[in-house]
Structures are given as C-alpha cells and as structure tokens.
Structure 1
C-alpha cells in the first residue's frame, strides 16, 4: 500500500485547570515526538500559526481570525501514512492532547475543484439536488 500525505490541524486552547509546568512538559515532549516523526518519515514539517491574521472575502479585507476559542487553529503539520486511520493513530501519540488541544486529520484532495462535484464548499441545497 502506498503512503499519502494528510494535513494535521491543531485546534483549541490549553485547559485552564492545567499548570503551566505540565503544559510546558507536554510541549517539550511534543517536540521530541515531532523530531522523531520527521526523522522516521511519518511527519513532514509544519508550523505554529501567529495570533494575527487577515480575513479576505468579496467584502474586503478585515483583521482576523474570528473563530471561537475551541475552533482556533494553532498550527499545522503533515502526516505520511497508509490510510486516514493510520494517520489518526500517529496523531493520537501527540503529548499535547492531554491538555485540551484537539487534532483534525484531513486527506489531501489531489483533484482540481469542480462546481459539479460535492466538496466541503458545496452548499447543502446543491447536495440535495444531486441525483
């Protein structure tokens, strides 16, 4: 079976009840896990995201991001795995999960976008019209 790349998105915030020392320990263990994953070829480089940003739409450009705290994206990385389940098993080893962060794993879509193919951007009303 050939391997594919999966996007790993880190979401949320640290639990308020956690001590800064415990969170720092999890962060330190994350970097050990991350560096080992890079060396083993199961992770590819990603990055933490800064707090500042811009939101661009047809209405213009505004300051952002505007997500709820539980939806905030803190960073992204890539996992190399044989399947989505395998990618999730790799992500489940991330030490930061113990303190409130959640990880979203998404397969990368190789095909170009098309309006007649249902995607994340397709409105529900369009989907119900497909037949």
Structure 2
C-alpha cells in the first residue's frame, strides 16, 4: 500500500479559505478543541490500519548547510519567519489509494478553529517515494 505524508502548514496553500488569527489569540476552549481533535485523529486511522505517525512541530527552526569536508556546518536561525512558509506538523498514512489519502487530508482540514468552525486549511499531500516501488 502506498504511504502518503500529509503536511499541515502554519501558513501556505493556494489561498486561505477564511482568515484565522494565530492560535495564541484563540479562546482556551477553541485551542483545546483543536488539540483534542489532533490527539484523537490517529485513533480514527488506527481502526483501519492506516495510521503510521503524526507529529507537531514548533515554529522555530534552524537552517543548516554543508560547507565542505573541513568546515563546520553553516547554520542560521529562522530567517524571515513572517513571510516564510512553516510546517506546523505532519501525518504519515499507509492507505490503499491516492483517493483515500485525499479523504484523510480533508478530514484533517476539518480540524476546528475559532468558534468551533472547521479551519478549511490546505493540507499538502505527498506520496512517499519508497511506497511507489514494487515488491515483485
């Protein structure tokens, strides 16, 4: 079965469905509903044997670059985080089809936001390269 990585961004996608303030501006109840959904999301997938892993990421990041065999890695802190794209987290699923991966991504997109309304956020869907190889 193919594996897909479902990528949740802090910002990103073709265009926002509706404006949503950053989570630090949500009510405690809305933030709790949002995180509860994410904690329960794997349970829905485990019932079908589709869940592989789900991880949330902090917004801070460091960029690293190789600069030759005799040099230390070159690093820089998150540059221009206001306009740069940031990954909020990801979910790996093992499903029977691309269509099923899209269904799961749509469910993840329905995560509640302020006022309990679905976020309607874009979820990036990427097939894992190794899952495209044949076992023959």
- TM-score grouping bracket, smaller chain normalisation: 0.5 to 0.7
> Are the counterparts in 1 of residues 56 and 89 from structure 2 also a CA contact under 8 Å?
yes
Provide closer, same or farther for how the CA distance between residues 61 and 70 of structure 1 changes in structure 2, counting only shifts above 3 A: closer
**RMSD across aligned C-alpha pairs, in angstroms?**
3.0
Show structure 1 runs of 4+ deviating over 3 A: 65-70
Decide whether aligned partners of structure 1 residues 105 and 43 sit closer, same or farther in structure 2, where only a CA change above 3 A counts. same
- 1:25 paired with 2:33, answer yes
Whether 2:21 is the aligned partner of 1:16: answer: yes
The SS at the match of 2:30 is: helix
CA contact (8 A) 1:12 1:69 kept: no
Q: Which ranges of structure 2 fall in alignment gaps of 5 or more residues?
A: 12-18, 68-73, 113-117, 132-136
**Which has the higher mean CA deviation after the structures are superposed, 66-75 or 77-86?**
66-75
Does the aligned pair in 2 maintain the 1:12–1:70 contact within 8 Å? no
Structure 1: where are the runs of 5+ without partners?
A: 112-131
Tell me which of 64, 68, 72 is aligned to 1:56.
64
TM-score (norm 2): 0.63
CA contact (8 A) 1:12 1:100 kept: no
1:65 Cα deviation (Å)? 6.3
TM-score by structure 1 length? 0.65
Q: Which has the higher contact order (CA 8 A, sep 6+)?
A: 2
C-alpha distance in 2 between matches for 1:74 and 1:65? 17
Q: How many residues align?
A: 109
Compared with structure 1, are the counterparts of its residues 89 and 69 closer, same or farther at alpha carbon in structure 2 (3 Å cutoff)? Answer: farther
